[in-house]
Amino acid sequence: MAKIIFERFFLKNGLTVLLHQDKNTPLAVVNVLYKVGSRNEHPSRTGFAHLFEHLMFSGSKNAPDYDTIVEQAGGENNAFTNADITNYYINLPAANIESALWLEADRMFQLNINKTSLETQRKVVVEEFKQRYLNKPYGDASLLLRPLIYTSHPYKWSTIGKEPSHIEQATLEEVKSFYKTWYSPNNAILSIAGNVETEKVKYLIDKWFGAIEPSSVPVINLPVEPDKTQRTFLEVERNVPASALYMAFLMCDRQNPLYYAYDMVSDLLGNGKSSRLYQTLVKEKMIFQDISCYIAGSIDKGFLMIEGKIHDSYTLEQAEAEVWKVIETTSGNISDYELNKVKNKYEAAYYSSLVSLMSRAENLAFYENISDAELINKEMERYSETSLETIHYLFKNELLKDKSVVLYYKKAKQ
């Protein structure tokens, strides 16, 4: 039941194709991943990759109204951008898969780039910026943290951008050049899941994508973010109901075997009500209202984040000291039982992530972009192979004060 079976092949123009057949659904998902994200942006044009994602819906030469055709074919579509990739999908009745392939090929080949849609989407994205980051309590915390965690790598700005003005200043010329640089078959992964006939869909893929010329995609040499050697600290005051503490640690890149250990460390510390931080600081000591720990697993060095909101009777200094106490008591003191617990949790989460057709298509492309789509079937093993020693190693060598990035997000006095 568990293994995701797929086929992989390459078109002559460099497009990577992944096919996963599922006969138990009337649907099909066409997912296109472009290997470009906010890490590829110019420091004075942050937020550009995401703005461009919006422009991909402005129509192409033969399909001037992208969304209408998706809807006519009974499909729904959407997209997201993160630091590493821009990902688009259409989820539609399997019988109409050719419509989706035709649409995606047309906008990969000859997108309509025009002033009107740029002007509208600049406004829409600025509203998105406000809605999700500025006009929401704690919404700007992630904007503040990135430049503290990263000093040289472009992960130092958020995907939405450093500030709305970068988006407001984007020009038509820049949009055109971005499209030319990054949106080509040799910089994309096409992943298809659903009730499709393999031979027929192969023919259709070649028919619509085969003739698109490859381009010379720049080789990216991004700076490697140096390890932290001393505590980084920032305090801000905001009009919020409770002070919040954020503590981050720079971690390894996605291909490093330590990635799995970091993920398990984050679960041990702060995923679920039985986790160390939650039990001690929310339940027993009642210092935090809530606390959690998670990792941001990007292609280049990611980070582990602890975040929580504290009760008014404690200061952020006290709260931070208590988090350190929990880290210190956990270090070197984890049982096999606890390790099994996080492995079980991971197993359930892993299968949950493969329930929908869409997430299978998306995950295949995601893993292929990291290195190999087959990873989708190996992740479970990677977690179960992770030893207690490796986890202890991280506690001893990485979760240290000198390597921490700390943000005090302080409640302003009323």
Partner 1 sequence: MRNRAVIPEISKIVSIQIPEINKFKIGGIPCNVVSGASQPLIKLDISFAAGETYNENPLVAMFTNQMLLESTLKHSAQEIAEQLDFYGIEISPSNGMVYSTLSMICLTKYVEKAWVLLSEMITEPKFDEDDLKILLENKRKQFLIELENVNHLARRYFRNAIFGKHHPYGKLYELEDFDHINSKQLFEHYQRLYNKDNLRIFVSGDVMEQHLQFMENHLHIANKPSAIPAISSNFIGKPQKKYIQKEGALQSAIRIGKLTISRYHPDYHALQIAIAILGGYFGSKLMQELRERKGYTYGIGAFTMSLKETGYIVITTEVASNVTNLAIQSIYEVIEHFCTHLISHEEMENARAYLMGEFLRTFDGSFNILEAFKAMDDLGLGMEQYSHFLDVLKHITPEEILSIAQRYLSNGYSEVVVGQINE
- In the window 74-93, what residues touch partner 1 (CB under 8 A)? 74-77, 91-93
Residues 131-160 that bind partner 1 (CB under 8 A): 131, 134-138
Among positions 11, 63, 281, 296, the unique one binding partner 1 when judged by CB under 8 A: 63
Total residues in contact with partner 1, by rule CB under 8 A = 83
What's 225's DSSP letter? Answer: P
Q: Which residues contact 377 (CB under 8 A, 6 or more apart)?
A: 2, 3, 4
235 lines the binding site for partner 1 (CB under 8 A) = no
Taking residues 259 to 298 in sequence order and writing x for each that binds partner 1 by CB under 8 A, - otherwise, the string is: -------------xxxx---x--xx--x--xx--------
AA identity, residue 213: E
378 lines the binding site for partner 1 (CB under 8 A) = no
Backbone angles phi, psi at 296, to 5 degrees: -105, 100
Residue recorded with tokens 């092949």: 9
Among positions 352, 381, 385, 393, the unique one binding partner 1 when judged by CB under 8 A: 352
Among positions 356, 377, 384, 390, the unique one binding partner 1 when judged by CB under 8 A: 356
Q: How far is the CB of 255 from partner 1 (least distance, A)?
A: 26
Q: How far is the CB of 289 from partner 1 (least distance, A)?
A: 5
Query: By CB under 8 A, which span of 65-73, 81-89, 299-307, 319-327 interacts with partner 1?
Result: 65-73
AA identity, residue 278: Y
240 lines the binding site for partner 1 (CB under 8 A) = yes
- b (16+ CB within 10 A) / e for 304-330: bbbbbbbeeebebeebbebbeebbeeb
Please name the helix (run of DSSP H) or strand (run of DSSP E) that holds residue 326, with its range, or none.
helix 316-330
Cα–Cα distance, 260 to 267 (Å, whole number): 11
Q: How far is the CB of 387 from partner 1 (least distance, A)?
A: 19
Q: How far is the CB of 170 from partner 1 (least distance, A)?
A: 14
CB nearer partner 1, residue 300 or residue 338? 338
Q: How far is the CB of 172 from partner 1 (least distance, A)?
A: 16
Q: How far is the CB of 287 from partner 1 (least distance, A)?
A: 11
CA distances from 376 to 6, 63, 85 (A): 10, 34, 18
AA identity, residue 107: R
Cα–Cα distance, 158 to 147 (Å, whole number): 9
Cα-based torsion angle of the residue sequence 40, 45, 47, 48 in order, rounded to the nearest 10 degrees: -70
Task: Cite the beta strand spans of 111-255 per DSSP E.
Answer: 188-194, 232-238, 244-250
Among positions 8, 202, 311, 392, the unique one binding partner 1 when judged by CB under 8 A: 311
Residue recorded with tokens 């020693």: 389
Among positions 207, 325, 378, 401, the unique one binding partner 1 when judged by CB under 8 A: 207
- b (16+ CB within 10 A) / e for 239-262: eeebbbbbbbbbbbbbeeebbbbb
Residues 4-33 that bind partner 1 (CB under 8 A): 22, 24-27
Chain-centroid distance, C-alpha 279? 28
CB nearer partner 1, residue 106 or residue 362? 106
Q: How far is the CB of 66 from partner 1 (least distance, A)?
A: 10
Q: How far is the CB of 95 from partner 1 (least distance, A)?
A: 5
61 lines the binding site for partner 1 (CB under 8 A) = yes
